[in-house]
Amino acid sequence: MSNATEQAVFNPKLRRRVDEGSGVNQVECNLVEAITLTLAQEMDRDERVVCLGEDVGLNGGVFRATDGLQARFGDQRVFDTPLSESGIMGTAVGLAMGGMRPIPEIQFEGFMGPAYDQLVNHAARYRTRSRGAITIPMVVRVPVGGGIHAPELHSDSPEAIYAHQPGLKVVMPCTPYDAKGLLAAALEDPDPVLFFEPKRVYRLPTRDWIPEDRYTIPIGQAKVVTEGDSVTVISWGASVYQCLEAMDQLPEDISVEMIDMRTISPIDKDTIIASVQKTGRCVIVHEAPKTAGMGAELATILQEHCFLYLKAPVQRVAGFDTIMPYYKLELEYLPNAKRVAEAITQVMAY
């Protein structure tokens, strides 16, 4: 049975078609379905790939991203672990050192703390520690961000913490197409990749048609979502959608160049520098607290490379420097279209 046939059997509920223009087999899915499909394809392709984590096996994960994988590949390749993030990460490090391609899932980003030691002090450092003799090829999947009214410690955006760590790559796609291509690329990488999945967009009402067959998107390559020449807006994760909504609130004479970073580390400096040198203005949007967030690093890069091109100070729209408030105030904490539109208007009026 061919891979395409096997994949169709794995998830027959997804709608499929052949694109009339390109002849490419396509599948209609949301973000979480794209991740599940990619995991199945990668496990079909490479017997070294295994999934592990809390409830990822029998229950298919708390967000059902691994739904059906254990039934298909067995409990030796998709297996539940004890409630110990340090143990999950340490086991994955050992599997990677032994020649496997593990995909550990940390159930929520707030649970990364206990896994920090194994991830940062070991996985990220083995290449250097062993002078290149040992690498840790693993992809750590982590649902991330707010907007679903989860309790405190379940809604943070800690990407800046891990982008600060040499030896780790940090990825955060926000569309099904990007999730599929970046996850496949991450599994080809010889070093650890932290794959953040914005849970607010797991199951958006709108679904995308994407290629069903395997493809990759290079890690470290941002995407220009819309081209423009008035102002550059840079974002990633779920905040990209708030930026796109904000663009609908602007006057027609404001032309926005929207950039989705997709990869937090390494940063695609070339794309953002070229854009801001063209527009002369920039607004950076992210969910994480403003102080020492990734927006500060991007603003510094633009200060270093675009100073003589800037027509206004770089603006940041971010979460507040507080713990994420629970439920009623959560959506007030997160950047929204109104705040983004106000920032764009401000830089345009400077």
Number of domains the chain contains: 2
Of 191, 211, 231, which residue constitutes the final position of a domain?
A: 211
167: region left, alpha or beta (phi > 0 left; psi from -120 to 50 alpha): left
Q: Any residues with CB less than 8 A from the CB of 275 and at least 6 apart, and which?
A: 224, 232, 257, 259, 282
Question: If 0-12 CB within 10 Å is exposed, 13-18 middle and 19+ buried, where does residue 221 land?
Answer: middle
Of 211, 234, 260, which residue constitutes the final position of a domain?
A: 211
Range of the domain at 153: 3-211
Same domain, 206 and 284: no
* Residue in this structure with the two tokens 């649902």, named with its chain if needed: 143
Q: Residue 101: which of 110, 109, 92 has the closest Cα?
A: 92
pLDDT per residue over 252-311, tens digit each?
Answer: 999 999 999 999 999 999 999 999 999 999 999 999 999 999 999 999 999 999 999 999
Position 94 in a domain: yes
Q: What residues act catalytically?
A: 154
pLDDT per residue over 166-218, tens digit each?
Answer: 999 999 999 999 999 999 999 999 999 999 999 999 999 989 999 999 999 99
Least confident of 77-86, 131-140, 235-244, 327-336: 327-336
Same domain, 295 and 236: yes
Query: CA–CA separation, 243 vs 247, rounded Å?
Result: 6
How many residues are present in the chain? 350
Q: Tell me, what CATH number does 319's domain have?
A: 3.40.50.920
